[in-house]
Structure 1
Amino acid sequence: MRVDRFFVLIALVSLIASCDEASNNKESITVLRDKSIDSLLTKYSFKASNGLEIPYRLFNPKDSAENKKPLLVFLHGRGDRGTDNNSKVYHEAGFITNKQSLLTSEMQQKYPCYILVPQCSDKTDNEEWAKWIGNTPESPFEGLGKDGSYNMNPKPSESGEAAIELIEQTLKDYKIDANRVYLVGISMGGFGTWEFISRRPDLFAAAVPMAGYSDPNQIENIKHIPTWIFHGNIDKWNPVEGSRHMYKLLLEKNADVKYTEYDNTSHGDAFKNAFKEEELLPWIFSKTKSNTLD
């Protein structure tokens, strides 16, 4: 009996030692609590030249390094419009909230960056990041095609104009690498991602539109910008055909474009899946404006 207990004890000691060794060899991951995330994203407000004041969150890495860092901009969906500037503006941004959050010290060692999250106004029913022909307070969705496309209005939305101005001001105020400004948007923010790079094709080094509408007429403006498109194939809100078409048009222009379509996947699940893609962050942070221009 004592012999048996001796061997059991030895086995337990070996098991504990092997677990400790595995733990030491595996990279540690810090999982942030909601309160920690909220405290790391400082609240601000920005008054644009068009008179609109928009709230925003900013993550500032705040270290002593002299090197300029990239800026990652996130555009939220339609249901998160407003002026409250609470956690809803970033709650669906997986690179902020998931296990590989860019806010952790471990991830900042890999991908040091600033993160900017503006909030779209809801002052009228048709206020969006994007502005298309037919989009009015009386007919907010008029002009959206069943094929997932629209025709961009010559004049931007007030929120879209203010957000682009905010991005430009942030570049002036912080030590940001102007050649590495990245844009990610979901749903209404997917609209905005396509639209912002169309209106300011000089500003962004890479774009990730998720489950949004787009304007195919803007291909010439954006063909030099690396783009990774995500969509679910049973999206009942924003037709997947729009993303498929933009991918085809960008391929024809020999653009640096990736397309991921999730089978049997609905609207919200598409961007949940997208933020779990292991190659997404390495792909984004590998891009610079200097190697995207013709």
Structure 2
Amino acid sequence: MRRFPIYLILILALPQCQTKSQKQDSTLTIAAQLTTAQNQAWVNEHLDQVMQASVFVAKNGHQMPYRIFIPDDYRPDESLPLLIHLHGRGERGTDNNPKIYNNIPLFNGPRSIVSPNMQQRYRSIVLVPQCSDTTINEEWAKWVGNTPETPFEGLGEDGSYLMNDTPSSSGAAALELIDYTIDRYHIDKSRVYLTGLSMGGFGTWEFIGRRPELFAAAVPMAGYSDPRTVDRIQSIPIWVFHSNIDQYNPVAGSRHMYQLLTEAGAEVLYTEYDSTTHGDTFQRAWQNEELIPWIYSQQQ
């Protein structure tokens, strides 16, 4: 493991990038290992500042708000991993509000991925796009039956759906934004990771189904899925999380995908929580100390 000096190095400048928080000052890079309390205090003070706000205009005309974390000492000649997080349905909108990332331990906890302690071990760029709510049926995923008049038609009681031939406006824009981020920041293309919860769990299954060559690992949490994509995604390491009493998205879908992927010889892990609510699934999953190391150990 890399060793760090006991002194602190404080850098007060952000990298050159086109974001709304470009001109803000912050104390971001800390070379020494902090105590848990110090690291959490840093997160409490700096999280919304380091998750820089911007807007991406896709080829389809969709204007997608997003947040991005870039290490403050990022060098244009280095190739870093990219972690993408897809939020749930309750966080849809156009406001780029911190709610799209700050309600789970992945960002707002002692092991926040953007905190000094975690960035020492898992130095990376982190991307969080925001799904639109301009129509009632806009989701990360797009399934047969999903229209403004029938937003939830086509979702089976078994936790499955049939993926539409064309993605949603937000889904297409997010995939284009991922490509843009990879090119702009010279991302290590062998280490692009995707995770999402609830509606973002739908999106995680869907994005790897539409672009399987893009991702080195995926972590879908409590989402629906299309079993027909198994042949396309079986080469991607996947860790699935769900609760056995999920009151919104049936656990049967995740169980079925895990069974199909296992039968196909895929590298798939499955964690099912007993008597845990839909929302508590995400909290428990991101408190799992093995999850982040597992994600960052994957490479194409």
- What is the TM-score of this pair, normalised by structure 2? 0.86
For structure 1, which runs of at least 5 residues remain unmatched after alignment?
A: 1-25, 290-294
2:55 to 38, 45, 62: 45
Give 2:21's aligned residue. none
| Deviation, structure 1 residue 184 | 0.6
Judge conservation of contact 2:43–2:109 (CA < 8 Å) in 1. no
Structure 1 residue 103 corresponds to structure 2 residue 110: no
- Determine the C-alpha separation between the residues in 2 that align with 1:287 and 1:56: 25
Q: Cα gap change, 1:56/1:142 in structure 2, threshold over 3 Å: closer, same or farther?
A: same
Q: Say how many residue pairs are matched.
A: 264
Q: Which has the larger radius of gyration?
A: 1
SS of 1:95 mapped into structure 2: coil
For structure 2, which runs of at least 5 residues remain unmatched after alignment?
A: 1-32
| Deviation, structure 1 residue 34 | 3.9
Give 1:77's aligned residue. 88
Q: Cα gap change, 1:64/1:119 in structure 2, threshold over 3 Å: closer, same or farther?
A: closer
Judge conservation of contact 1:74–1:93 (CA < 8 Å) in 2. no
Give 2:68's aligned residue. 58
Judge conservation of contact 1:71–1:116 (CA < 8 Å) in 2. yes
Give 2:261's aligned residue. 250
Give 1:28's aligned residue. 35
- Determine the C-alpha separation between the residues in 2 that align with 1:64 and 1:147: 45
Structure 1 residue 116 corresponds to structure 2 residue 127: yes
SS of 1:261 mapped into structure 2: strand
Q: Which has the higher helix share?
A: 1
Deviations 1:156-197 (A, max 9, x none): 000000000000000111131111000010000000000000
1:228 to 229, 233, 239: 239
Deviations 1:59-84 (A, max 9, x none): 00132554311000000000100000
- Determine the C-alpha separation between the residues in 1 that align with 2:260 and 2:208: 16
RMSD: 1.2
Judge conservation of contact 2:89–2:139 (CA < 8 Å) in 1. yes
Structure 1 residue 199 corresponds to structure 2 residue 210: yes
| Deviation, structure 1 residue 153 | 0.4
Structure 1 residue 269 corresponds to structure 2 residue 280: yes
- Determine the C-alpha separation between the residues in 2 that align with 1:50 and 1:33: 36
Give 2:176's aligned residue. 165
- Determine the C-alpha separation between the residues in 2 that align with 1:148 and 1:202: 25
Judge conservation of contact 2:43–2:115 (CA < 8 Å) in 1. no
Structure 1 residue 281 corresponds to structure 2 residue 288: no
